[in-house]
Amino acid sequence: MTQRQGDAAPLEARGGSAPRLRASWQRSARYGVPDDEVKPVFTGSVDTSSLLYECGREVLQGLQATLANEPVSLMLTDSEGLVLSRMCGDTDITRSLDRVHLAPGFYFAERNAGTNGLGLALADRAPSLVRAADHYCTSLRGYTCAAVPVLDPLSGGLAGSVNLTTWSEQSSELLLALAQTAAGHTSALMLARASGRRPRQVPRGEVFRMYADQVDPPRLSAGWEHPLVEVLDAMRRGQTVLVTGEPGTGKTALAAMARRELRPRERLLNARSPGQDDVAAWLTVWAPELGKERTCVIVSGVDSLPAWAASELAHRFSTAHREAAVAPFVLTAVDPGALPEPLVAHVDTAIEVPPLRFRPDDVLPLARHFAHRVRGREVTFTAAAARALAAYDWPENVKQLRRVVREAAARSEVVDVPHLPAEVFTNAGHRLSRLQAMERDEIVRCLAQPGATVVGAAAELGMGRATIYRKMTQYGIKARQLRS
């Protein structure tokens, strides 16, 4: 990495943290983060029903009470750097953080803001202190940030982070210790309250630019290729396309691939619709991009937009389309029948992407593709693992497959049955509580061991043979697929 003049000294002064900071700066440069200011990436919705949010806010409220007169802002983020909550009694630092978009609803991962405390903590999954000139963006150098990852107490996965930010001239000796304490208490409280809880998923109004490597899957089956060709042909005829399908089928990816084929040099943006209360801010972020030269916006989830927002979009679409030979936008929706009335006139053709369960030949090519992106090289799937992936119904479609494969490939370059989650070998037909999911996972773990038998698994788990057979039926566990 080529450092800017004057930046070397702060990094050298950090001792053991300097390599991490240098690596973070290199990533920031590779991501194309501007070095003078933070470019905001806004989501119109924050999941306030999750266990992380509930427990993290409770812990931070207690900490804030002890720091009431201090210029310290306490923040909670999710695993992707989305700021979920911010607490601070000092109006000066609150206004200042608003100006750099370090506020709820904004992403502050390294990809968005360069080297910063919470971004580094999430990237490295380690406590991080980023002082003044350690920040990649000069607009952040007035602050010192201490952040610590919060781990899910059941899965061990990254749930989010706790971030404490103060002025750069303030003493930071205790800042990281306070953040570590808060993160530990949050994780402990999550464990105490985890039984039977499932965080509710809410829409996030993300707006981001799509690059070729984000929309370049392998050669897939006719079930994918046919709608892709249909979308491309419609675009060539100047038609406005609505791509439909179940959540997670890859509607946005298919629309982006067709657009890349039609106009390879075009700037491609994706605007994912937010929750109902945040539509106005979401529109403000991206709607001005409509109609700009060589720019196309894929607007995802338009069937969830309120009528007033649909009317506003329809007006903007009319203006943008009149000035372009090819429609400068593509729409996606789960249910075309729920398309808001103002947008109906702006759709020339609707094309459906089949769910993954109707495209079983696509499962392994996609799995190898996702695994390669995790490892940066080819990943092998054993015959047993391949059979299990191909036989599963994938109720959450490609989105679920990507998550499963990423976790498995992160564990091994040769993915076998033990590396796959229990959900792949089961078909319970209904959502499980956390306790039920833990029980299911333990049964699958025992049955997946080399040479395992149902009798042996029952003995290891302290269950009767009849009980474990009943549990296998209850959870839809497919024992034969667990044998390598």
Q: Tokens for 128, please give them.
A: 């991080």
Q: Please determine, for residue 297, whether its predicted confidence score (pLDDT) is greater than 80.
A: yes
Boundaries of domain holding 74: 8-192
Q: E strands, 250-323, where?
A: 267-272, 295-300
* pLDDT value, residue 14: 43
Q: Please determine, for residue 197, whether its predicted confidence score (pLDDT) is greater than 80.
A: no
Q: Tokens for 362, please give them.
A: 């696509």
Mean pLDDT of 372-391: 89
In percent, the amount of the chain with pLDDT more than 90 equals 46
Q: Are both 320 and 337 inside the same structural domain?
A: yes
Q: Please determine, for residue 484, whether its predicted confidence score (pLDDT) is greater than 80.
A: no
Q: Are both 12 and 157 inside the same structural domain?
A: yes
- DSSP 8-state secondary structure symbol assigned to residue 126: S
Looking up tokens 């991206």 gives 286
Q: Are both 242 and 308 inside the same structural domain?
A: yes
Cβ neighbours, 10 Å, residue 319: 10
Mean pLDDT of 60-68: 89
pLDDT band with cut points at 50, 70 and 90 for residue 203: low
Q: Cα-flanking dihedrals φ and ψ of residue 274, to 5°?
A: -95, -170
Using an 8 Å Cβ cutoff, are 207 and 271 in contact? Answer: yes
Q: How many domains is the chain partitioned into structurally? A: 3
* pLDDT value, residue 367: 95
The DSSP bridge pattern shows strands 128-131 and 143-151 to be antiparallel
**Sign, CA torsion 92/95/99/105:** positive
Q: Are both 325 and 371 inside the same structural domain?
A: no
Which residue blocks in 349-433 are alpha helix, DSSP H?
Answer: 363-375, 383-391, 397-411
Using an 8 Å Cβ cutoff, are 356 and 362 in contact? Answer: yes
Would you say residue 455 lies in a domain? yes
Lowest mean pLDDT among 69-78, 92-101, 170-179, 369-378: 170-179
* pLDDT value, residue 214: 64
* pLDDT value, residue 142: 95
Q: Are both 350 and 325 inside the same structural domain?
A: yes
Q: Are both 278 and 413 inside the same structural domain?
A: no
- What is the C-alpha radius of gyration for the chain, rounded to an integer number of angstroms? 24
Look at residues 354, 379, 408 and tell me which one is the last residue of a structural domain. Answer: 354
Q: Are both 271 and 365 inside the same structural domain?
A: no
Q: Please determine, for residue 182, whether its predicted confidence score (pLDDT) is greater than 70.
A: yes
Cα gap 338→343, rounded to integer Å:
11
pLDDT band with cut points at 50, 70 and 90 for residue 483: low
Q: Are both 27 and 169 inside the same structural domain?
A: yes
pLDDT mean across residues, the chain: 85
Dihedral of CA atoms 190, 94, 136, 209 in degrees, nearest 10, equals 70
pLDDT band with cut points at 50, 70 and 90 for residue 198: very low
The DSSP bridge pattern shows strands 380-381 and 267-272 to be unpaired
Domain CATH code at residue 445: 1.10.8.60
Residue 296 half-sphere exposure toward CB, CA atoms < 13 A: 28
Q: Please determine, for residue 195, whether its predicted confidence score (pLDDT) is greater than 80.
A: no
Mean pLDDT of 306-323: 80
pLDDT tens profile 250-272: 999 999 999 999 999 899 999 98
pLDDT tens profile 25-48: 988 998 899 999 888 788 867 888
Q: Please determine, for residue 431, whether its predicted confidence score (pLDDT) is greater than 60.
A: no
Would you say residue 197 lies in a domain? no
Would you say residue 118 lies in a domain? yes
Domain CATH code at residue 87: 3.30.450.40
pTM: 0.55
Using an 8 Å Cβ cutoff, are 282 and 40 in contact? Answer: no
Which residue blocks in 69-116 are alpha helix, DSSP H?
Answer: 91-99, 110-113
Residue 387 half-sphere exposure toward CB, CA atoms < 13 A: 11
Q: Are both 215 and 349 inside the same structural domain?
A: yes
User: Of residues 139 and 321, which shows the higher confidence score?
Assistant: 139
Measured in residues, the chain has a length of: 484
* pLDDT value, residue 78: 94
Q: Are both 25 and 69 inside the same structural domain?
A: yes
State in Å, rounded, how far the first CA of the chain is from the last one: 45
Single-letter amino acid, residue 79: S
pLDDT band with cut points at 50, 70 and 90 for residue 1: very low
Residue 304 half-sphere exposure toward CB, CA atoms < 13 A: 21
Q: Please determine, for residue 473, whether its predicted confidence score (pLDDT) is greater than 80.
A: no
Q: E strands, 318-366, where?
A: 329-333, 349-352
pLDDT band with cut points at 50, 70 and 90 for residue 283: confident
Maximum Cα interatomic distance, the chain, rounded to a whole number of Å: 72
Cα gap 182→204, rounded to integer Å:
26
Q: Please determine, for residue 322, whether its predicted confidence score (pLDDT) is greater than 70.
A: no
Mean pLDDT of 360-384: 92
Q: Tokens for 86, please give them.
A: 């911010």
In percent, the amount of the chain with pLDDT more than 70 equals 88
* pLDDT value, residue 200: 46
The DSSP bridge pattern shows strands 329-333 and 295-300 to be parallel
